[in-house]
Amino acid sequence: MKHRALKQTARVAALFFASGLLQALYATELSGQERAEDAGQNLVGTPAARLTVTTIDGEQVDLGQLYGKKAVYLKFWATWCQPCREQMPHFEHVYETAGPDLAVIAVNIGFNDSLEDVRAFRSKYHLKMPVVIDDGRLANVFHLRVTPQHVVIGRDGKVSYVGWFADQRLQDALAAASVPAVHSTAANPTLAPAERYSTGDQLPKLTATTLEGKPYPIHDSSGNAVTALVFLSPWCESYLATTRPQSASQCRQVRQQVDALYKRLSQVRWLGVASGIWATADDLTAYQSQYKPKIPLTLDKSGVWFRTFGVSSIPTIVLIDRNGRVSRRVEGYSADLPHILKAAVRG
């Protein structure tokens, strides 16, 4: 029964792609699979992290308890991601035909998506599998770089596949992962909660590296300036123009606003922190060349800066006072930003 279901899933996947609905899109996004495979280079063959996650319905899923008993299929996605939408019928079919040896979990990446967005998406696409909104921990341990990103964990508790296409490679990985596990002595790491800093928290000495390779201390050692971290994405103004036009507009407004304030407020230090989702240093360089932002930029390839400051939407500005404390955060575009900055400088 299990093998028949897997073969049926493979046939659906073949028909799904033969329809040509995705081929034109994927022809322009060939780097999707390449980026996913690059993210998986240091993952495949290693023990998957033991994490407990909570679904949007309040149910807890202990991944560590599944290892050794079931294969696990995690699909990272976002409501605004067009390839994710195109793959959802295939994804739901995998869940419906998974059988007892495969756990299927939908992982919304928690980036520019609200709980209401995710619930509406689940309803529209009739998703029945457990749905989790990631707090950054899953993205961290499974090296999230693109959407969608498929992560398959074998019954031995080791990562066996990381990819982007919903194709035969994924089907083969799911079939192989469901084979009974061979006993492994390798331990799956248990992770402690990540360090996060909220308004009022004192920061340790943090240093970023700019696109030009220069160190950028987050806290002004002279104690004379406020630091503004501008969280952004190189594709916000372009890709989200069709799927999330309001977000795209706010990204453009904040970029223009920051450029205008850069020279006017000498007691504010600026750093643009670009998300590593769908972005490499080359992509950020292209963004810099196209829009010519005046502030220095850094690529948050692993997402550690976004997680550290609890940023889940762009654009977001986090202010750090002269004493190295998080003093304020501004999400989206705010016409009051000049006044907020001046008050931060006076304070």
Peptide bond into 315 cis (omega under 30): yes
CB 325 within 8 Å of CB 203: yes
2-11, 211-220, 242-251, 269-278, range with the lowest pLDDT: 2-11
For position 286, which CATH number holds? 3.40.30.10
* Per-residue pLDDT tens over the stretch 197-222: 999 999 999 999 999 999 999 987 77
DSSP symbols for 175-229:
HHHTSPPPP--PPPPBPPPPP---TTPBP---EEE-TTS-EEESS-TTS--EEEE
Instruction: Tell me if residue 283 falls in helix, strand or coil.
Output: helix
User: Is 156 inside any structural domain?
Assistant: yes
- Structure confidence at residue 17 as a pLDDT band (50, 70, 90): very low
Position 25 pLDDT exceeds 80:
no
Position 30 pLDDT exceeds 60:
no
**42 plus 116 within the same structural domain:** yes
**28 plus 165 within the same structural domain:** yes
Distance CA 170, CA 130 (A): 20
**91 plus 161 within the same structural domain:** yes
User: CA gyration radius for the chain?
Assistant: 21
Distance CA 280, CA 282 (A): 5
E-only strand ranges, the chain: 52-54, 60-62, 71-77, 102-108, 131-133, 149-153, 159-163, 207-209, 215-217, 226-232, 268-275, 297-300, 316-320, 326-331
User: Is 191 inside any structural domain?
Assistant: no
* Domain end (from 123, 156, 177): 177
The pLDDT value recorded for residue 22 is 41
The pLDDT value recorded for residue 251 is 98
User: Is 193 inside any structural domain?
Assistant: no
CB 151 within 8 Å of CB 142: yes
**256 plus 121 within the same structural domain:** no
**164 plus 235 within the same structural domain:** no
- Structure confidence at residue 188 as a pLDDT band (50, 70, 90): confident
User: Is 184 inside any structural domain?
Assistant: no
User: Is 135 inside any structural domain?
Assistant: yes
* Domain end (from 134, 161, 177): 177
Domain that holds residue 104: 2-177
pTM: 0.85
* Domain end (from 134, 162, 177): 177
40-49, 81-90, 98-107, 184-193, range with the lowest pLDDT: 184-193
The pLDDT value recorded for residue 183 is 53
The pLDDT value recorded for residue 27 is 41
- Structure confidence at residue 191 as a pLDDT band (50, 70, 90): low
**263 plus 215 within the same structural domain:** yes
**122 plus 220 within the same structural domain:** no
More confident residue, 11 or 339: 339
**173 plus 217 within the same structural domain:** no
For the chain, give the number of residues: 347
* Per-residue pLDDT tens over the stretch 304-338: 999 999 999 999 999 999 999 999 999 999 999 99
**256 plus 161 within the same structural domain:** no
Position 23 pLDDT exceeds 70:
no
**223 plus 125 within the same structural domain:** no
CB 261 within 8 Å of CB 129: no
User: Is 194 inside any structural domain?
Assistant: no
User: Is 59 inside any structural domain?
Assistant: yes
Number of structural domains (the chain) is 2
**155 plus 215 within the same structural domain:** no
Taking all residues of the chain, what is their mean pLDDT, rounded to a whole number?
A: 89
The pLDDT value recorded for residue 304 is 92
The pLDDT value recorded for residue 347 is 80
DSSP symbols for 28-65:
H-THHHHHHHHHHTTTTTSBPPB-EEEBTTS-EEEHHH
1-15, 164-178, 306-320, range with the lowest pLDDT: 1-15
**243 plus 300 within the same structural domain:** yes
The pLDDT value recorded for residue 220 is 79
User: Is 328 inside any structural domain?
Assistant: yes
